[in-house]
Structure 1
Amino acid sequence: MSWLMIYGATGYTARLATGYAKAAGLDPVLAGRDAAALAGLDGETRAFTLDDPAAMDAVLSDVTVLLNCAGPFLRTAEPLMRAAIRNGAHYLDIAAELDSYRLAEKLDGEAAARGVMLLPGSCGSVAMLGCLAARAIETVD
């Protein structure tokens, strides 16, 4: 079983996430739409586009967590969230886009029924600002 898949693996943020995952002892599957670009990466790779649900299901069937680093998220979030739900994989992305939050809310019932967590905005500004805000509240007298 592949624990973690990083989609958009040839991009800057995904390369950083891959480095951190490997430093933590994980061996993520590196995925994206361009097989030739993925071929230059170190690790298992899987190429697929987001317009073929059957192909997406085939490559996600053994994935536990899907991290979407491929924008624009307006185009990538919905097909990847739906594929994650179908395959029982938790979905995270690095977007801080309102549309991704609204989509996760819309799909929440379906995701919950499959035991899947949808967590858009799980990186960068949202997580960082949430932590900073919590710390600020703790220190205010």
Structure 2
Amino acid sequence: MANNRWILYGAYGYTGELVAEEALKRGHTPILAGRSAEKLIPLAERLGLEYRVFSLDDTPALKNALADVDLVFHAAGPFIYTASPMLDACIETGTHYVDITGEILVFRKTFKRDEAARQKNIALISGVGFDIIPTDCL
């Protein structure tokens, strides 16, 4: 990654907040992001991190928010609704993508974009969390 800047979308959700806190403990400084300024700003101020407020249905704002980052950590579900706009914006901006989904349909949506991602030399990786194994096996 060129500048090692990454954005955590869905930062004020339960998992997003845990990821943000753990990232800080490990010396990372993610840019926190989400659609609600009311929820995002207090978290960003508490953690001392940069933040960006935008909705996934505002394509210009979404692409602008990704313009200077190398990677998106997508933590805002339900991913069946939220993954596609973020995946498409990542392809358009040349931004790597990871998410924490366990939704099989989202894995399929991600795989369908593989060739476009390869052309941009980016990785699109769904299911980087622990969700899929325990829910399928227990």
> Same fold per TM (> 0.5)?
yes
1:6 aligns to 2:12 (yes or no): no
1:22 aligns to 2:24 (yes or no): yes
Cα distance in structure 2, aligned partners of 1:46 and 1:33: 8
Cα distance in structure 1, aligned partners of 2:58 and 2:117: 20
Aligned length: 128
1:87 aligns to 2:79 (yes or no): no
* Partner of residue 125, structure 2: 119
Cα distance in structure 1, aligned partners of 2:36 and 2:99: 19
Report the RMSD for the aligned CA atoms in angstroms: 1.3
- What's the secondary structure of 1:96's corresponding residue? coil
- Shift in Å at residue 64 of structure 1? 0.8
* Partner of residue 77, structure 1: 83
Alignment gaps of 5+ in structure 1: 130-141
* Identity within the alignment, %: 38
> Could you report, residue by residue, the CA deviation over 1:74-130 in whole angstroms, capped at 9, with x for unpaired residues?
11100001111111111111111111110111111001100111111011134x66x
* Partner of residue 57, structure 1: 63
> Could you report, residue by residue, the CA deviation over 1:45-96 in whole angstroms, capped at 9, with x for unpaired residues?
1010111211111111011110111011011100001111111111111111
> Could you report, residue by residue, the CA deviation over 1:11-53 in whole angstroms, capped at 9, with x for unpaired residues?
0101111111111111000000001211101311101011121
CA contact (8 A) 1:2 1:62 kept: no
Match of 1:106 among 112, 116, 133: 112
TM-score, normalised on structure 1?
Answer: 0.86
Cα distance in structure 2, aligned partners of 1:76 and 1:99: 12
Q: Which amino acid aligns with 2:22?
A: Y
Higher radius of gyration, 1 or 2: 1
Alignment gaps of 5+ in structure 2: none
Cα distance in structure 2, aligned partners of 1:37 and 1:63: 22
Q: Which amino acid aligns with 1:22?
A: L
Runs of 4+ in 1 over 3 A off after TM superposition: none
